[in-house]
Amino acid sequence: MASKGKKPGESAKTAPKAPGAKIETSYAERQGAGGETHQVAGGEVAALTTAQGAPVADDQNTLRYGARGPALLEDFHFREKIFHFDHERIPERVVHARGYGAHGYFELTKSLSKVTRADIFQRVGERTPAFVRFSTVAGSKGSFDLARDVRGFAVKLYTKEGNWDIVGNNIPVFFIQDAIKFPDLVHSVKPAPDRAFPQAQSAHDNFWDFISLTPESFHMIMWTMSDRAIPRSFRFMEGFGVHTFRFLDAKDRSTFVKFHWKPKLGLQSVAWNEAVKINGADPDFHRRDLWDAIGSGDFPEWELGVQIFDEDFAESFAFDVLDPTKFIPEDEVPVQVVGRLVLDRAVDNFFAETEQVAFCTQNVPPGIDFSNDPLLQGRNFSYLDTQLKRLGSPNFTHIPINAPKCPMAHFQQDGHMAMRNPQGRANYEPNSWGAEGGPREDPARGFRSFAAEETGPKTRLRPESFADHYSQARQFYISQTPIEQKHLVDALVFELSKCERPDIRSRVVSHLRHIDGSLAATVADGLGLPLPEPAKAARPTITDLPPSDALSIVRNGPGSFAGRKLGILVTDGADAALFTALVAAVKKEKAVHEVVAPKIGGVTLSDGTKVAAQQKIDGGPSVLFDAVAVIASKDGATLLAGDAAAKDFATDAFAHCKFIGYSSEAMALFEKAGLADDLDEGCIELTGARDAGAFLKACGALRLWEREARVDLDAAA
């Protein structure tokens, strides 16, 4: 596939294709770094070398065949760098250390036999066993669930022709274009080596210093500073394969493909203030949510969608489909739903399954193949090495969670902790022992790579088609609703306010000016920072890319309260009929509820019914719920009005824009909490049992975001 590009100032619609793989400028020139990365106070910088002492000429790009070609095994610098990075920690994963997994199945709903010979996509209705591991990236195993972070969304499909690992994230793009920069990215976001903090946070100088010197990261920054990085639940977030892959049909003809997981229950996030409080109230919030959903039979479900496109589209698309910092808008290539993923069984043992599961991007069945995406090429090398180090043996596929569920036959033998070995005399191939000689190649069924024709020099430069770093970042930003844009700005102001060096803050804002002028000005104002000059840009921003509704969480919400949780704060003597009606309405909406009470022993309702509590008021704050109701007797409301935790329950629910149902007696609590004069249409009085159903229907909107302007008057309002 030829390289392509646009002349400065051209729109996406009129950009001509550039000659294949032509290199026009150096990496530093295109990035706009201008030597900035080499300016260090105190004198001349030492030359970067390998561990063997050899000076390194280029630490930004892997060696490959042609600017857009495959990575080359002879790149000793990349191999040494990624090898050392893969082996930094024992036994915890370097990244994605905190994870949680579950078993399930994938069911095909639409055959793709015309475009791929992959067995899993042939027979509609057939189910394939699956294991999924969700994770955060930056934190350790002991960190909390609701860090602002990318979420791993890794799916292992045990197909009839071998394991297929779709090792993705909940964001469709990534920070870097080339895998050689992965150690630098992760080092920058992890705790600083001299002080070992901060934990599971990107709000510090090292991370933003790296980002401000890496313009290619700014599209991903828009996503991670958005509400996508603080999902309400694993069940309410999308998953993406990130890279461009290939489908190969029975005649080895190639079609490009991108993979999407879309949650059946719609998208949902939390507010940042809410995330901070959830981490204090329940650092295992996401884990508990997944465990409880599966245990109650409310099995999490996603649709598998594919974006399929050919070489002609790849050539005409405004950006390079091999660039992992870019996505293809669904408006240009619609997502076709071809199956569903259902998680219906929790693990029997966390360590044996969730901790020992090994994902490798290289694990694909016949009919799936790789593109020349340089980040994917590097991951294919790195992940196998990672699992070897982490699990201690090349025989990690002998561990049940990693073992294929189809027949296996090969000549690999021995090694640490081998659980099986080839039988018979022959342990080599070819051999002349006939049927006793073991397995043989199968040209018809076996994996075959696409026979791509590659051209170009052996080089460490990136193609010019990777040089636009801001246009899709702008497209993402303008696709957000106003409240989502506000949250994104708030996040940038918060993160950068934790940086001690003003020059780092200024450098970041200088890049934001290429994304949106108002965005940059608001962030600068929130930081008390003079608006800096725009950073040097390798390509001018394309300003006519249209907004895409698919990029907004708010525009892709559930429309109902199904799968959500109502917190009912109740006291002794509360209206029994109203409580019973609320519980029935929750069940009708296919949601769940928890009772919060002054004492964990529960309460006695007005008709003498005893109701057990799942949470004591100071252990069950409103941040744990998607909506709340306060059902109190007159005496009970007076009791709540004098309790700090009860007042926090009400004020936090209001501040986080949640729907609040209440009996008239609850006004005593609202008055003491300072809310009585602020109640709005999201605060619904429940005058009797007949109001319960309407309240739960209203809760399907999840938030009354209009309220935020009245309760959050910060710099980004």
Report which residue type is found at 364: V
Which residues of 66-143 form beta strands (DSSP E)? 99-108, 127-136
Which residues of 353-402 form beta strands (DSSP E)? 368-370
Sign of CA dihedral 670, 675, 678, 683: negative
96 is catalytic: yes
Report DSSP state, residue 567.
Answer: E
Helices (H), 252-321: 272-281, 285-295, 311-316
- Helix (H) or strand (E) segment spanning residue 503: helix 502-512
The catalytic residue among 77, 96, 286, 514 is: 96
Distance CA 666, CA 628 (A): 12
169 is catalytic: yes
Distance CA 475, CA 81 (A): 34
Distance CA 634, CA 573 (A): 8
Distance CA 406, CA 23 (A): 46
Q: Are 600 and 611 in contact (CB under 8 A)?
A: no
> How large is the angle between the packed helices 502-512 and 517-527, nearest 10 degrees?
160
- Whether a cis peptide bond, with omega within 30° of 0, leads into 430 is yes
Q: Are 383 and 418 in contact (CB under 8 A)?
A: no
Q: Are 189 and 138 in contact (CB under 8 A)?
A: yes
The catalytic residue among 61, 103, 163, 169 is: 169
Q: How far is CA 1 from the centre of its chain?
A: 29
Q: What is the CA radius of gyration of the chain?
A: 27
Report which residue type is found at 556: N
Report which residue type is found at 697: K
Distance CA 422, CA 438 (A): 8
Angle in degrees, CA 128, 131, 132, rounded to 5 = 125
Distance CA 436, CA 432 (A): 9
**Cross-strand partners of 245:** 257, 370
**For residue 380, what are the CA distances in angstroms to 179, 333, 360, 375?**
10, 26, 7, 9
Helices (H), 12-157: 27-31, 76-86
What single string gives the DSSP state of each residue in 162-189? EEEEEEEESSSS-S-SSGGGHHHHHHHH
**For residue 488, what are the CA distances in angstroms to 91, 110, 146, 163, 521?**
35, 37, 16, 38, 13
**For residue 299, what are the CA distances in angstroms to 214, 302, 559?**
41, 10, 19
Report DSSP state, residue 71.
Answer: B
Residues with catalytic function: 96, 169
